[in-house]
Amino acid sequence: MRTLQVDLGERSYPIYIGGGLLEKAGDFFEQHQQSTKSPVLIVTDDHVAPKYLPVVETSLQAKGYRTVSKVVKAGEKSKSLDVYEEVMTTAIEGGLDRRSAVVALGGGVVGDLAGFVAATYMRGVTFVQMPTTILAHDSSVGGKVAVNHRLAKNMIGAFHQPEMVLYDVDSLQSLPPRDVRAGLSEMIKHGLIWDAAFADWCREHTADLLALDPEALGYGLTQGCSIKSQVVSVDERENGLRAILNLGHTLGHAIEAIGGYGEFLHGEAISIGMAAAAKLAVNRGRDPQIYKQTVSILSGFGLPTAMPAHLNEQDVIGAMMHDKKFKEQTMVFILPLAIGRVEIVSDVTLDEVRQVIAELKEEGQHV
Ligand SMILES: NC(=O)c1ccc[n+]([C@@H]2O[C@H](COP(=O)([O-])OP(=O)(O)OC[C@H]3O[C@@H](n4cnc5c(N)ncnc54)[C@H](O)[C@@H]3O)[C@@H](O)[C@H]2O)c1
Ligand SMILES: O=C(O)C(=O)C[C@@H](O)[C@H](O)[C@H](O)COP(=O)(O)O
Ligand SMILES: [Zn+2]
């Protein structure tokens, strides 16, 4: 097992990464929740529950915790205020008190939803992340929790750090291939924003990662979590540096929203967004190799890098204008300076965005 630490003063917490950890959930829980046996709410989805819920329930119950479970429908649509209210109802009916914990057992959807419940139930209770997707190496670390609004992603949320992240990498073996690829998109992002050598390593280990080779996965997830926690430790609430974690998200979130939170997976939309950011950087005079290399690594993983032809340019721009990063008539974009290095640029005009959308549609015709 590898252990990383997210350094945030009194809100610091460990990330445990290894095999067989869900079976030991009760032991880890006791270490972190020694003083209370208040009921625990486990939030999961209907793909994850049949596979991993019983083992977590059994492990917690064996240590004397009473558990209450809420199984939501799998998929991005469950990151909604309606489902949030349903989970709250389960928490209240289940008798959770102020010393209770909420556990997110699943991917980023369950993590963001359960985290927002933990942040707001009785004004905030303990939160534990048990990620079961590759993508969740990103979402389980850093404390951003939220649900979506019909008009814009993650619009209703909070910062609420977990007490610990228990990352059982054995669980990843049951992921469908599409979710494997989408999860690797955020792993590649961590290389593109922070560490050229790690981006290279991802490219060189494309086949191993797609095949869920345990050694490659363990290394890749540890590096991804480590980069994420280094950034978050410097800037917990996104007053500056943390914005770099948003590479590809300005456009990506718009694509997810206009796709009705289901047509495109988060990692897929972010892949298109990363290609767009690289193209924008090149249009602003950066080395054309940046775009070529970005597209090469992403497409090597089978990720999309072209703007889908059926997406209407005006709809995309309209959705982007609801984003947290829209200010007056300009957009904040994270743009690559080179592979492994990015800058935060706050003066990208809508015309530049229109041009990139058109160019990425053109690229799509050559795929
Ligand atoms: N809070 C953050 O910092 C942050 C960071 C990145 C992404 N996110 C959010 O994360 C979400 C995407 O996360 P995701 O890609 O994990 O999606 P997800 O939670 O929907 O999981 C993807 C799919 O895999 C299934 N699944 C999960 N674990 C499985 C397993 N072990 N075996 C088989 N199937 C399994 C799920 O049921 C789902 O169908 C988005 O909402 C995105 O906005 C948040
Ligand atoms: O943790 C962060 O900060 C990120 O930006 C990570 C992103 O991968 C993630 O999708 C996040 O939820 C986006 O945050 P938002 O503030 O743009 O909604
Ligand atoms: Zn993301």
pLDDT tens across 211-226, in order? Answer: 999 999 999 999 999 9
Q: In the chain, which ranges are E strands? A: 2-6, 13-18, 40-45, 67-72, 101-106, 126-131, 144-149, 152-159, 164-168, 326-327, 330-338, 341-349
**Is 89 annotated in some ligand binding site?**
no
pLDDT at 118 over 90: yes
Residue type (1 letter), 225: C
Instruction: Check pocket membership of 3 for ligand 1, CB cut-off 6 A.
Output: no
Q: What is the pLDDT of residue 310?
A: 92
Average the pLDDT over 317-327 and give the result. Answer: 83
Buried b / exposed e along 233-250 (16+ C-beta atoms within 10 A): beebebeeebbbbbbbbb
**Is 249 annotated in some ligand binding site?**
yes
Residue 182 exposure: Cα atoms within 13 Å on the Cβ side: 19
**Looking at ligand 1, which residue's alpha carbon is closest to its atom 21?**
107
Residue type (1 letter), 205: H
Average the pLDDT over 64-82 and give the result. Answer: 97
> pTM (2 decimals)?
0.97
**Is 144 annotated in some ligand binding site?**
yes
Q: What is the pLDDT of residue 37?
A: 87
* CA distances to 25, 63, 111, 128, 322 from 276, in Å: 41, 50, 27, 35, 18
pLDDT band at 323 (very low <50, low <70, confident <90, very high): confident
- Backbone torsions φ then ψ of 285, nearest 5 degrees: 105, 0
Instruction: Check pocket membership of 132 for ligand 1, CB cut-off 6 A.
Output: yes
Q: What tokens were used for 195?
A: 């560490």
**Looking at ligand 2, which residue's alpha carbon is closest to its atom 4?**
245
Specify the ligand 2 atom closest to the Cα of 228: 1
Class of domain 177-364: mainly alpha
pLDDT at 247 over 70: yes
Residue in 153, 159, 179 to alter for ligand 1 test, most ligand atoms within 8 A of Cβ:
179
* CA distances to 165, 174, 191, 275 from 304, in Å: 30, 23, 18, 9
Residue in 133, 154, 324 to alter for ligand 1 test, most ligand atoms within 8 A of Cβ:
133
Instruction: Check pocket membership of 142 for ligand 2, CB cut-off 6 A.
Output: yes
Q: What is the pLDDT of residue 321?
A: 85
Average the pLDDT over 285-304 and give the result. Answer: 97
Specify the ligand 2 atom closest to the Cα of 242: 3
**Looking at ligand 1, which residue's alpha carbon is closest to its atom 19?**
107
Domain limits of the chain? Answer: 2-174, 177-364
Instruction: Check pocket membership of 106 for ligand 1, CB cut-off 6 A.
Output: yes
Average the pLDDT over 233-244 and give the result. Answer: 97
pLDDT tens across 340-362, in order? Answer: 999 999 999 999 999 999 999 98
Average the pLDDT over 292-315 and give the result. Answer: 96
Average the pLDDT over 175-204 and give the result. Answer: 98
Q: What is the pLDDT of residue 360?
A: 95
Average the pLDDT over 144-150 and give the result. Answer: 95
The residues with which 35 forms a beta bridge, in sequence order, are: none
Candidate CATH numbers 3.40.630.10, 3.40.50.1970, 3.90.930.60, 3.40.50.970; the one for domain 2-174 = 3.40.50.1970
Instruction: Check pocket membership of 140 for ligand 2, CB cut-off 6 A.
Output: no
Topology agreement, domain 2-174 and domain 177-364? no
Instruction: Check pocket membership of 336 for ligand 1, CB cut-off 6 A.
Output: no
> Which of 27, 18, 25, 19 has the alpha carbon at shortest distance from 42?
25
- Nearest ligand to the C-alpha of residue 161? 1
**Looking at ligand 2, which residue's alpha carbon is closest to its atom 17?**
246
Q: What is the pLDDT of residue 324?
A: 79
What distance lies between CA 111 and its chain's CA centroid? 9
Cα 179 to averaged position of ligand 2 atoms, centre (Å): 18
